[in-house]
Structure 1
């Protein structure tokens, strides 16, 4: 499918669109606040119903040397959160490649000023459904992985907090989804180095992702 045969509807300059960035910030704060409340509820539930499963660093926080163990717990949560954000972009990349033509390349980058990591399949046009899957896959897969690993490794509270912090970093994806689902005319999405470009059908049929003509 070629963008040249489709009608351009809109585009998003992810790092420059102030309205988009405001939406991203609001979604991130909402996810963080709601998620922290849920994580605290999980911590309380584990402490009351299954104290043997509670994170040992938190259980021993008030024992001798407990403060240092708590600091180590915080460092671990921070490191795991950063790792989850990297894995997040890898999941994007896997789906970018899965839906792209053979030989397509996915690149990675970061906007340190805004604190954003990103994966990019520049010039590839995906169907609406494909792009929604690409956008939402990390929110589901990586968050679930954080929770499962937290319990498996004996740190369910840490896993819950990492999951929440990861989710708060998914708001850019959710803002893309909000734009796409808010306009039924959008049938295809072109990934670009500046963000995403939306297209609608214009004398062409539905198709899979394809390379954009120069």
Structure 2
């Protein structure tokens, strides 16, 4: 195999810029969707609306105290979702790796990012796609379900949106994979990820590029 590209997650400024832009767009769209959801819920099923938010305006409510408790609920849900996010990565890292593979966890506080890493393990393209996208499709609906179960559906929806903004890095990896169909394997590294292609495919692609240059 030959390395076709790599992403230094914490140092690649272009990647970080795209990730920030993706997170921002996700937050704006998600916030709008949450507001629409809150309005529909308040009109159609008012008894299911977040009790803590209702308490802000109700005569028997606690006003700002209820609002602070609602914010605290969102904050706790966000922290738990981010921890669960990395745990889900770790579960799939282990599932697709040889027996005895060690998965480590860490944080880059400068970038405000948590991470799980199975350093040195090479995964197939399809395996890495599953690893990258698993938290998006597993953790997000669980956060929404937790909101419903706790009687705070709007808080759950908003916490889920905040979790999705933290999935931008994973989506960046997926974008790299989709942009290059010749990538067949991915190696998880301490700095990010390295993408590989089979030598024959890479040589054929290089020959086509050279032919285009000559023409």
For normalisation by structure 2, the TM-score amounts to 0.90
Map of 1:37 onto structure 2? 32
After TM superposition, the structure 1 = structure 2 runs for residues 114-125 of structure 1, keeping only pairs within 5 Å, are: 114-125=111-122
Aligned residues: 199
> Hey, what's the Cα distance between the residues in 1 that align with 2:91 and 2:125?
17
Choose between structure 1 and 2 for higher RCO, CA contacts under 8 A separated by at least 6 residues: 1
> Hey, what's the Cα distance between the residues in 2 that align with 1:72 and 1:154?
13
Give 5+ residue unaligned stretches, structure 1. Answer: 1-5, 205-214
> Hey, what's the Cα distance between the residues in 2 that align with 1:65 and 1:135?
42
Question: Cα offset for 1:202?
Answer: 2.1
In the TM superposition, what whole-angstrom CA distance separates every residue of 1:148-168 from its partner, at most 9, and x where no partner exists? Answer: 111122110010000000001
Map of 1:51 onto structure 2? 46
Map of 1:14 onto structure 2? 9
Question: Cα offset for 1:66?
Answer: 1.6
> Hey, what's the Cα distance between the residues in 2 that align with 1:77 and 1:148?
13
Question: Cα offset for 1:203?
Answer: 5.8
Select the structure of larger CA radius of gyration: 2
Give 5+ residue unaligned stretches, structure 2. Answer: 202-215
Which of 81, 95, 99 is the aligned partner of 1:98?
A: 95
Q: Whose helix proportion is higher, 1 or 2?
A: 2
Which of 148, 152, 156 is the aligned partner of 1:155?
A: 152
Map of 1:143 onto structure 2? 140
